Amino acid sequence: MRRRRRTTRWRCAEAGVISWLDTPREADAPLAGLKVLELARVLAGPWAGQTLADLGADVIKVEGPGGDNTRAWGPPYIERDDGTQEAAYYHACNRGKRSIVADFGNADDLARVKTLAADADVLIENFLTGKLARFGLDYESLAASNPALVYCSITGFGQTGPRRSERGYDFVIQGMSGFMALTGEPQGEPMKHGLAISDLFCGVYASSAIQAALLMRHRTGKGQHIDMSLLDCSVSLLANQAMALFATGENPPRMGNEHLQVSAYGVFPVADGEVVLAPGNDGLFRKLLELLERRDLLDDARFSTNAGRLTNREALRQELSDATRQWTGEALLARCAEAGVPAGPINALDQVFADPQVQERGMKIELAGIPGVRSPFAFSRAKLALDRPSPRKGEHGAD
């Protein structure tokens, strides 16, 4: 039954018959025809929803009477053509969706949401663990009438464990996960990332898990409950730093802009600022010395291997800094590009979007006068569904 109902929906859209997809998303987007119900607000859940929307899913955002909190998280604000304003933050993670307003305490509104869930492919929610069960909107309740539903819960700490009922905020998770212990100058205080990286990566991981569950449903015919935790996602990103702990039994130190396992690899001064140099192996390091005209260091035993360069990190930094200061950033980066040495500028955000490479890739977009940054997917046989700006609160209630 599940597969037949979904096929009918697609055929109705193709024939121009009014269906749940009032304005068909791009037909050749990878997830065209997928219906997603988003009971999420702020960042991690909406980020997962926006990713699926960019991929072509019809994402119906269900907001409470007050709307998503981030609509008011300004300034700065984005002004629409009709003069209304919402926080730029809100527009960063809600593109491509439709919005309805529902008060779960209202019987009619709750019934409407349950009706939508009964025919949804995916549901995303980020309420406190167990809260939606009070309204019959938990996985077990909804799966009883829609066993093919892929239901993704996003919380700070997951559905199990001693902290499962606690609120999880990105800043708190960055501290708990080890991110802050690894970020900042060695003698400075621990620092958070400049982005809400725990929220954002949880959203990215969630969108990947949802698509994996959809593929599994294709094999089994059954949906499932996905349990995503901000803390789990952040711990999973520790990668080589976690392995350094496991290998040595010692906590990796904060390194500032240095690399724990590679040297020379960091920020270096030039005549008009700083640049990033990243010669990640012996061959690239030799190329860097040659283009800097420091061939005298090629035979220096202190720097002939990566292990030696790590041991003599400070001496090497001084030698290289003396050389890089003789160049302008533009000249040094051009020479590195010619020699094949990984290097780049340290851009402010306006410089990022003025970069010819970023412009060629079309990363900045505009929909109905509202700017945004597209999801970073490029397909050979599909395209993104970049056809809707972020919705006004309740804009699609009549649909």
My answer on whether 146 and 84 are in the same domain is yes
Q: CB pairs under 8 A, 24+ apart, for 4-9?
A: 5/119, 6/33, 6/121, 9/33, 9/35
My answer on whether 282 and 229 are in the same domain is no
Q: CB pairs under 8 A, 24+ apart, for 85-90?
A: 86/390, 86/392, 90/390
Whether 11 is covered by a domain: the verdict is no
My answer on whether 196 and 293 are in the same domain is no
My answer on whether 64 and 211 are in the same domain is yes
Contact, 124 vs 40, CB < 8 A?
Answer: yes
Over residues 255-277, the mean pLDDT reads 92
My answer on whether 170 and 302 are in the same domain is no
Per-residue model confidence (pLDDT) at position 2: 38
**Whole-model pTM?**
0.88
My answer on whether 227 and 275 are in the same domain is no
Which residues in 105-139 are b (16+ Cβ under 10 Å) and which e?
eeeebbeebbebbebbbbbbbbbebeebeeebbbb
Whether 360 is covered by a domain: the verdict is no
My answer on whether 152 and 285 are in the same domain is no
Find the domain containing 313 and state its range.
Answer: 266-347
Model confidence at 17, pLDDT cuts 50, 70, 90, reads very low
Whether 380 is covered by a domain: the verdict is no
My answer on whether 130 and 66 are in the same domain is yes
Whether 251 is covered by a domain: the verdict is no
Q: Which of 54, 58, 199, 227 is catalytic?
A: 199
pLDDT for residue 292 is more than 90 = yes
Over residues 167-175, the mean pLDDT reads 95
My answer on whether 287 and 217 are in the same domain is no
Whether 42 is covered by a domain: the verdict is yes
What CATH number does the domain containing 147 carry?
Answer: 3.40.50.10540
My answer on whether 157 and 213 are in the same domain is yes
pLDDT for residue 11 is more than 80 = no
Is 119 an annotated catalytic residue?
no
Whether 170 is covered by a domain: the verdict is yes
Number of domains in the chain: 2
My answer on whether 166 and 310 are in the same domain is no
Cβ-based neighbours of 233, under 8 Å, separated by 6 or more: 198, 201, 202, 205
pLDDT for residue 150 is more than 90 = yes
My answer on whether 278 and 130 are in the same domain is no
Whether 40 is covered by a domain: the verdict is yes
What CATH number does the domain containing 310 carry?
Answer: 3.30.1540.10
Whether 385 is covered by a domain: the verdict is no
- Identify the burial level of 151 via C-beta atoms within 10 angstroms of its C-beta, where 0-12 means exposed, 13-18 middle and 19 or more buried: buried
Between 14 and 101, the more confident residue is 101
Per-residue pLDDT of 354-381, as tens digits, reads 999 999 999 999 999 999 999 999 999 9
